Amino acid sequence: METIDEGGLPQLKALDWQAVILANGDFPQTGRALQILRSTQTLICCDGAYRPLRAEGIEPLAVVGDGDSIDPKDRQRLGARFHLVAEQADNDLTKAVRYAQGIGLRRLLVLGATGKREDHTLGNISLLEDYARMGLQVGMLTDHGLFLHCRGNATFPALAGQQISVFNLTCTGMESSGLRFPLYTLRKWWQGTLNEATGSTFSVTADGDYLIYFVQGKKNRFH
C-alpha cells in the first residue's frame, strides 16, 4: 500500500478493486461511497439491497440471494441477472462474495454492510477473516471509514492525526510504530480502538490476523 485517497483511506486508490458488492445494511449516504457505487464497472448486489439501488437509477451486473428479500416484480425484471442461492448456511453477503469469486474476481470492496441491526453489522465485519481464508482481498467501506483484514507485518499510509483502530483476531504478538498508543498483544476488541496515526505512515508487526479500521479524514476525534 503506497497511496491514500483524499479522505485518508488506503487502498481505495492503491488497490485495483475488481468489483463492488452492495449489502443490505444502511444504503451508502456519503459522497465517497456513493461515488464509488455509481462509478464502478462491476457491481454485485445482495437481493435485499436491489430496491434502494434501483431507486438511485443504478443497475447491477448481478443480484444474489435466497430470494426472500426481493420483490417478485423486481426478480422478474432482473431475469438472468438474478442468481438464487437457496442454502441458509451463508448469509446473502457471503453468497454474493462467492458469486464474485466464481466469476474470477478476487479483490472486492463491500458497501452497505453496516447499520440497521447491530448483530448483522458484527457478523458482516467478522466475515472479512473468512474471506481472507478464501484467498480473497475484501475491504468494507462504511459512511465513516474502511475496514481491512490484515495478516503479519505491514506498513500503511495514513494522515497525521487520523483515527485508527486495530482489532486482534489471532495474533499472539503485536507491536507498532507510528501510532500514538503503541500496540501490544490486544486481548479485547475495545483495547484497539481510538488510536491515532502520528505521521504519514504507521507499521504493525504481528504474527497473525487482525482488522484495521481507518476513520475517514480527521474529523471524528474521540479523545
Query: How do residues 167-219 score in pLDDT, each as one tens digit?
Result: 999 999 999 999 999 999 999 989 999 999 999 999 999 999 999 999 986 55
**Residues 214, 9 contacting (CB under 8 angstroms):** yes
pTM of the model: 0.89
Q: Is 170 exposed, middle or buried (CB count within 10 Å of its CB: 0-12, 13-18, 19+)? A: exposed
Q: How far apart are the C-alpha atoms of 61 and 44, rounded to whole Å? A: 6
Domains of the chain and CATH, by start: 19-145 (3.40.50.10240), 152-215 (no CATH)
Per-residue pLDDT of the chain (223 residues; tens, 9 = 90+): 445 555 567 656 545 789 999 999 999 988 788 888 988 989 999 998 999 999 999 999 999 988 888 888 988 889 999 998 888 788 999 999 999 999 999 999 999 999 888 999 999 999 999 999 999 999 999 988 999 999 999 999 888 999 999 999 999 999 999 999 999 999 998 999 999 999 999 999 999 999 999 998 655 443 3
- CA angle, residues 79, 85, 87, in degrees to nearest 5: 155
Taking the C-alpha atoms of residue 177 and residue 162, their distance in angstroms, rounded to an integer, is: 14
